[in-house]
């Protein structure tokens, strides 16, 4: 095999360095002049950073040993006023291809030539993180402190934006009509997610507090995969910590259970809701008031049975839904829980031929009476359902008024309830004979849902509805 010739740069540098090693009395000007032999750029000892910039993109192929000798010349053996800086040295080293182990060894050997902090700063500017012992440990401590301070700031920020001094219920008190706060959260969501990802690894108490505040925002903005991810991490964190059973229960019953229901993931929904229910029952046995947790869990389990009935047509599932609701119908709870109980009672009535849509409308109106004219997130869920009830009894104008009330608040379809209202309006358009508008609305709904990171059952409904329109 024919031997490949050495890189001419490498040969020239080796000659210079070897000559320097052989002749201790060699003048630095001679080395600088020899270094210019292959370079069109004038080079002097105090212009070390340009030694190998023959071309802007050039990555000089130099043996690390040769490079080390060269660095030694220009950082130790020449007068101090013309020596290279740590920045210049690191700038050169990072452009010389070499295995990481050799790179690490070279840095270790030359670090005695420069003030320690100067070399650390030079490395950090190039994205290089070296183990400088206690200094690096101090940097880690500072970083941890900054992360904690930033995490605490995000907690205060979210509390201010989402609760704003109302009941200060960190879990339930979320109002999606507060447009200023929601827009701020939308803008900062990527940063908030980064904080959640960090605290999930290192600050579990803080993770729980942040997730409790963000659960309904994530649902409202259709951030389903984020809600499942961070709620699951927070529930597991609460399980591992003492005295956080209430938080684990509500996260499993509602934060996880409800979203699994929305996505028609019935096995996962039942598993999480049942786990939360068992925690709530144990709390009751210990004398802790967990009645609302039990009521909410049973309402959601009734919804699981209803969806199984709708999927499989098994009347026993419908009967089980009725039995489950019957066990909690007279339990006293706050409106925020009773609202959901009435909502599920309405859902069951809507699909039970013995009760029908008129009874469902009655339940939905009872639930809405807890909220008056405040169209917050709970109200939107109910108004959509109320509109569907009106459609089923043939009161199309009444139904349309419900859906338009939601769209008047959320003109940009940014929320899950607005997307659902648009899909319901498409069905109104079809009933009114306006197939062009029905198709336009449904296509937009389909496209919005297709961008989600999870499969939403409404997406399949929209696709199926488009087929009925295309057949017209």
Residue 460 has a pLDDT of 93
Contacts of 336 (CB under 8 A, 6+ apart): 169, 172, 370, 378
Residue 31 has a pLDDT of 46
Q: What is the CA radius of gyration of the chain?
A: 34
Half-sphere exposure of 340 (CA within 13 A, CB side): 22
Mean pLDDT of the chain: 79
Residue 401 has a pLDDT of 94
CA distances from 7 to 63, 69, 138, 172, 382 (A): 11, 18, 43, 70, 76
Residue 472 has a pLDDT of 54
- 389, burial (CB in 10 Å: exposed 0-12, middle 13-18, buried 19+): buried
**Which pLDDT band holds residue 176 (cuts at 50, 70, 90)?**
low
Any idea what the Cα angle at residue 289 is, between residues 284 and 290, rounded to 5°? 70
The rounded distance, in Å, linking the Cα atoms of 126 and 103 is: 14
pLDDT (mean) for 157-166: 58
Tokens 């389909």: give the residue: 446
For the ranges 5-19, 159-173, 273-287, the one whose mean pLDDT is highest: 273-287
- Assess whether pLDDT exceeds 70 at residue 72: yes
pLDDT (mean) for 443-449: 92
- Assess whether pLDDT exceeds 50 at residue 447: yes
Q: What is the pLDDT of residues 181-190, one digit of tens each?
A: 777 778 778 8
Q: What is the pLDDT of residues 455-466, one digit of tens each?
A: 999 999 999 999
**Cβ–Cβ < 8 Å for 295, 342:** no
- Assess whether pLDDT exceeds 70 at residue 113: yes
The rounded distance, in Å, linking the Cα atoms of 93 and 174 is: 54
Q: What is the pLDDT of residues 392-431, one digit of tens each?
A: 999 999 999 999 988 888 777 778 889 999 999 999 999 9
pLDDT (mean) for 103-126: 81
Q: What is the pLDDT of residues 272-320, one digit of tens each?
A: 999 999 999 999 999 888 999 999 999 999 999 999 999 999 999 999 9
- Assess whether pLDDT exceeds 90 at residue 445: yes
- Assess whether pLDDT exceeds 80 at residue 167: no
The rounded distance, in Å, linking the Cα atoms of 97 and 100 is: 9
The rounded distance, in Å, linking the Cα atoms of 110 and 86 is: 10
SS3 label, residue 315: helix
Residue 45 has a pLDDT of 40
- Assess whether pLDDT exceeds 80 at residue 141: no
Q: What is the pLDDT of residues 375-391, one digit of tens each?
A: 455 688 899 999 999 99
**Cβ–Cβ < 8 Å for 357, 381:** no
- Assess whether pLDDT exceeds 80 at residue 245: yes
pLDDT-above-90 percentage for the chain: 43
């Amino acid at each position: 095999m024919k031997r490949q010739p050495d890189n001419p740069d490498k040969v020239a540098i080796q000659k210079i360095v070897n000559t320097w090693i052989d002749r201790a009395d060699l003048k630095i000007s001679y080395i600088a002049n020899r270094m210019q032999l292959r370079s069109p750029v004038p080079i002097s000892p105090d212009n070390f950073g340009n030694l190998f910039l023959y071309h802007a993109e050039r990555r000089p192929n130099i043996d690390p040993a040769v490079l080390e000798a060269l660095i030694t010349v220009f950082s130790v053996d020449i007068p101090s006023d013309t020596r290279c800086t740590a920045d210049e040295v690191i700038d050169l080293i990072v452009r010389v291809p070499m295995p990481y182990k050799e790179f690490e060894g070279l840095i270790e050997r030359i670090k005695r030539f420069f003030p320690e902090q100067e070399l650390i700063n030079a490395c950090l500017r190039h994205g290089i993180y070296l183990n400088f012992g206690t200094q690096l440990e101090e940097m880690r401590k500072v970083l941890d402190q900054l992360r904690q301070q930033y995490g605490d700031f995000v907690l205060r920020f979210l509390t201010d934006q989402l609760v704003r001094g109302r009941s200060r219920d960190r879990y339930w008190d979320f109002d999606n009509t507060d447009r200023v706060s929601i827009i701020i959260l939308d803008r900062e969501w990527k940063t908030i997610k980064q904080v959640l990802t960090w605290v999930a690894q290192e600050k579990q108490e803080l993770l729980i507090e942040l997730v409790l505040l963000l659960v309904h925002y994530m649902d409202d903005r259709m951030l389903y995969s984020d809600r499942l991810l961070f709620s699951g991490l927070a529930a597991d964190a609460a399980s591992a910590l003492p005295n956080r059973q209430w938080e684990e229960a509500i996260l499993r019953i509602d934060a996880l259970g409800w979203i699994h229901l929305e996505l028609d993931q019935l096995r996962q929904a039942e598993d999480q809701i049942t786990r939360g229910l068992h925690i709530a029952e144990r709390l009751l046995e210990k004398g802790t008031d967990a009645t609302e947790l039990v009521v909410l869990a049973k309402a959601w389990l009734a919804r699981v049975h209803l969806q199984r009935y709708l999927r499989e047509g098994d009347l026993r599932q419908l009967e089980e839904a009725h039995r489950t609701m019957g066990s909690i119908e007279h339990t006293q709870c706050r409106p925020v829980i009773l609202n959901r109980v009435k909502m599920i009672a309405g859902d069951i009535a809507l699909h039970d031929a013995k009760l029908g849509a008129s009874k469902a409308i009655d339940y939905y109106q009872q639930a809405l009476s807890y909220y008056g004219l405040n169209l917050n997130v709970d109200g939107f869920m109910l108004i959509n359902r109320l509109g569907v009830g009106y459609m089923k009894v043939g009161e199309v104008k009444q139904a349309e008024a419900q859906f338009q009330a939601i769209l008047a608040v959320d003109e940009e379809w940014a929320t899950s309830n607005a997307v659902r209202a648009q899909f319901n309006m498409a069905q109104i358009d079809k009933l009114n004979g306006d197939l062009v508008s029905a198709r336009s609305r449904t296509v937009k709904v389909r496209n919005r849902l297709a961008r989600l990171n999870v499969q939403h059952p409404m997406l399949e409904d929209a696709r199926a509805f488009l087929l009925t329109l295309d057949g017209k």
